[in-house]
Every structure is written in C-alpha cells, then in structure tokens.
C-alpha cells in the first residue's frame, strides 16, 4: 500500500513540474518550468490550499534517493570532456554548482525535518498537559 502512495504522490509532484513546463512554454519566459512548478506548489502550500500530507510520503522517498538523481547530471557532464579540456575553469564551475545544490538540498531537508520534529514534540507536550 505504501508503494501505491509513493507512486501517486510522486505523480502529483510530477504534475506540478508539468504544469510549470506548460506555463513556461505558453508564456515563453526564461524561468525554467521546474522552478515555476515549485513556486506554484509552494504558493498552494503557503495559502493552505494544498496539504503537505498529500505529498509527504512521495517527497520523503525522493529525498531518500536524491543522491541517485545527481548521478545522471554528473555522467552527462562526462560527454563534454573536450569542453572541459578547452575551458578547464568550467570543470570547477560544474563541481562548485553541484556541491552548492547538494549542500542546500541537504540543509533544507534537515531544517524541514527539525521543524517537523519540533511540531510533533509540541503537540505531544500539549496532549500530555491535558
């Protein structure tokens, strides 16, 4: 049953990505569709029209496999070895930008987990005081 929830919730997240891609193509703007989709999801979560629990299991799954999601980008960079030989500084840029993404992603997920833990603890304390 958990696999079904993961598939459905990942499909919802993918739907936000596709919506962002559609809007980006429709309006011909330079912002990537994935960012637009993420902003739409963030906005819906912020105004509480969309509940986090609707995508919680799927997003936790994606966070768990996040290191695997970075491998294709790294392997794809191997296709451009001639570019790296011609412009060695581009190798540093790719490495630094990849490290920034990994660090920010892990910091954000840790912060979100900490906030969730604080919320659970405060709810438990409220229940204990009643």
60-106 pLDDT, tens digit each: 888 888 777 767 666 776 777 777 788 888 778 878 888 898 898 88
Average pLDDT over residues 22-51: 92
How far is residue 125 from each of residues 5, 78, 118, measured CA to CA in Å?
30, 52, 10
Same domain assignment for residues 25 and 6: yes
Shared-domain flag, residues 57 and 72: no
> Which pLDDT score is estimated for 123?
79
| Tokens representing residue 8 in the block | 């459905």
pLDDT exceeds 90 at position 42: yes
Q: Which of 15, 34, 62 is the last residue of a domain?
A: 62
Mark whether 77 and 28 lie in a shared domain. Answer: no
Residue 15 host element (H or E)? helix 2-27
The secondary structure element, H or E, covering residue 65 is none
Residues 38 and 94 in one domain: no
- Provide the terminal-to-terminal Cα distance of the chain, rounded to the nearest Å: 34
Query: What is the number of structural domains in the chain?
Result: 2
Take residue 46 and report the two structure tokens written for it.
């912020």
Q: Are residues 86 and 121 in the same domain?
A: yes
Instruction: Read off the pLDDT of residues 71-80 as tens digits, 9 standing for 90 and up.
Output: 766 677 677 7
pTM to 2 decimal places? 0.56
Contact 23, 36 (CB under 8 A): yes
- Choice among 8-12, 18-22, 87-91, 125-129 with the minimum mean pLDDT: 125-129
What is the domain range of residue 30? 1-62
Give the integer Cα–Cα distance in Å for 88 and 71. Answer: 21
Task: Mark which of 14, 41, 62 sits at the end of a domain.
Answer: 62
Q: Are 130 and 70 found together in one domain?
A: yes
Last residue of a domain, one of 45, 62, 79: 62
pLDDT band at 24 (very low <50, low <70, confident <90, very high): very high
Question: 17: closest CA among 38, 2, 31, 42?
Answer: 38
């Amino acid at each position: 049953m958990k696999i079904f929830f993961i598939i459905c919730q990942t499909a919802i997240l993918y739907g936000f990505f596709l919506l962002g891609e559609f809007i980006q193509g429709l309006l011909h703007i330079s912002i990537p569709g994935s960012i637009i989709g993420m902003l739409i999801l963030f906005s819906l979560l912020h105004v509480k029209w969309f509940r986090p629990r609707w995508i919680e299991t799927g997003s936790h799954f994606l966070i768990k496999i996040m290191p695997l999601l970075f491998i294709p980008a790294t392997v794809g960079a191997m296709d451009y070895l001639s570019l790296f030989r011609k412009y060695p500084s581009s190798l540093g840029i790719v490495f630094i930008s990849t490290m920034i993404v990994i660090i920010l992603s892990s910091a954000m997920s840790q912060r979100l987990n900490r906030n969730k833990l604080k919320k659970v603890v405060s709810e438990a304390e409220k229940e204990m005081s009643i």
